[in-house]
Amino acid sequence: MVDRHAIIPIPLFAALGWLLAPSAAAADLHVGSGQTHATVQDAADVAAAGDVIVVHGGSYDGDVDLTADGTDRARITIQPAGDGEATITGRVTIDGDYWDIIDLTFVARSGADGFRLRGDHNRLQGIDLSGGDRDGVDGSGTGNQVRGSRIHNFDAGEGDAHCIVLNPGAEDWVIADNELFDCSGDTIQLYADTAERSIINVRIDHNDMYFTGALSRTENAIDVKNADGLIIFGNRMHGFPDNKVVVFQKGPANIDMQCNVMFDGFTGVEFRAEDGGTVEHIIFARNLMHDYSSYALKFDGTVGAEVFNNTFVDIGSDGLRIEGAGLDSGTVQNNLWVRTGSVDTGNFAADHNGFWQVSSNEIASGSDVQGDPLLDTDYRLGAGSPMIDMGIDLGLPYAGSGPDLGWDETTMNSCETTGAGGASSTSSGTGGASSTSSGTGGASSTSSGTAGSDTHSATDSGDEGSCGCRLLGAGRAGALPWLWLTGLALALMARRRSALGL
């Protein structure tokens, strides 16, 4: 008879073998005067998975090429030592995977991009990047992120120098919580020469994008020439005097633009087909737009748009412009126009909207509300506003007997409550309504939650699934050996992580 207490499940046996086996510890590679490595490139040339390149205070000139690969559980990090500002002047190219560049200052040299991201799953976190005459970040690859950084003052004179540009084929990018300003091109551009949808599942959220007038020109806050599955959520965009704040052109699809605040500019948001493409499947919701000298929102060559719960105030020209190929199918509901020009009609349904001092209204319906919305200085509905509770239920949370008209739901923040919804994305991850994952927005998604998170799957995040073993001897006595072995494994793991400095 086999002694069931003597059997060790294969996965646990393998785990104990890994814990007890010798291995090379991750290294701290110090860079600076009197340190082991004189330059960042010297340290990068010998870096391996799990290593940390520690950059001491000082100035470092020269391009840096990062070609080694980390792993999802052993990333390669470049970070400051904390003994003074560390500034790196030159172009940084990341061809490797799983690099973290943290809290350093970079000054781009003339004639080169600041960063070229070619590998996958790399992160720029908390950096300050400025000073070049080309693009700040030229991005390709899959799963790369730019978070919590300042990217600014890229100036090509009368030419384009974008703060961030993504190239065809980029996938699962996250651009979040950054301050992006004063670039002579677009603040963010998703690039294509022709109508294509090869930039997939990108999330742009909670960035502050603006132009101070310090340069001779700028273009758009966001220029989307190429996208399939794009979330633009919770951003603040202002001060773009000569162009659109956001433009979608050529033929991007599955766009979800919600909870953004946009103000003080020339033209607002434009959806425009070009080069034989069609702009398709749009959600434009819960946005605030005010103080534009031209139009607020324009559709030309767009199929399928849901426009709801937006507020448009003090618009010099059209509050809603429909021109050229217009908007074919969609709904316009629960919006509020205040002191705007014409609101145009088209091949779409419109009802339950609010109007005050609009020069011409072509979408009027019996369910609309006319009257002073009593907006406060933050463009929220004041007490007694006739717009309160007068919307139609579209599935968003609301506080009263019905949804309010406009971007703000009285007594609650619906954006914080629900986050970004989907735009019928057929691609995975960033949250389309027809997506199959639990990503940031859709009901489901074909891959697990890529956008808006630091991870791309349960494996990346360190979550463990079922081990696939059968536990023999489920009674109290039979469980004791397994409890002892589990305790030993955990103790050894803690000891090993401590030795590695994890």
Structure tokens at 377: 């200085």
Determine, yes or no, domain membership for 431: yes
Determine, yes or no, domain membership for 499: no
Question: What values do phi and psi take at 59, rounded to 5?
Answer: -110, 135
Range of the domain at 140: 35-461
195 three-state secondary structure: coil
Determine, yes or no, domain membership for 341: yes
Determine, yes or no, domain membership for 358: yes
300 three-state secondary structure: strand
Which of 403, 394, 399, 400 is CA-nearest to residue 412? 399
What CATH number did the domain enclosing 98 receive? Answer: 2.160.20.10
Other Cβ atoms less than 10 A from the Cβ of 412: the count is 14
Determine, yes or no, domain membership for 439: yes
Determine, yes or no, domain membership for 485: no
Determine, yes or no, domain membership for 487: no
Q: How many domains does the chain have?
A: 1
Task: Render each residue's pLDDT in the chain as its tens digit; 502 residues.
Answer: 434 444 344 444 444 444 444 445 799 999 999 999 999 999 999 999 999 999 999 999 999 999 999 999 999 999 999 999 999 999 999 999 999 999 999 999 999 999 999 999 999 999 999 999 999 999 999 999 999 999 999 999 999 999 999 999 999 999 999 999 999 999 999 999 999 999 999 999 999 999 999 999 999 999 999 999 999 999 999 999 999 999 999 999 999 999 999 999 999 999 999 999 999 999 999 999 999 999 999 999 999 999 999 999 999 999 999 999 999 999 999 999 999 999 999 999 999 999 999 999 999 999 999 999 999 999 999 999 999 999 999 999 999 999 999 999 999 988 886 666 543 333 333 333 333 333 333 333 333 333 333 333 333 333 333 333 323 333 333 333 444 444 545 554 555 445 444 4
Residues facing residue 230 across a β-bridge:
202, 255
Question: What values do phi and psi take at 378, rounded to 5?
Answer: -100, 10
SS3 per-residue string spanning 220-274: CCEEECEEEEEEEECCEEECCCCCEEEEEEECCEEEEEECCEEEEECEEEEEEEC
Determine, yes or no, domain membership for 382: yes
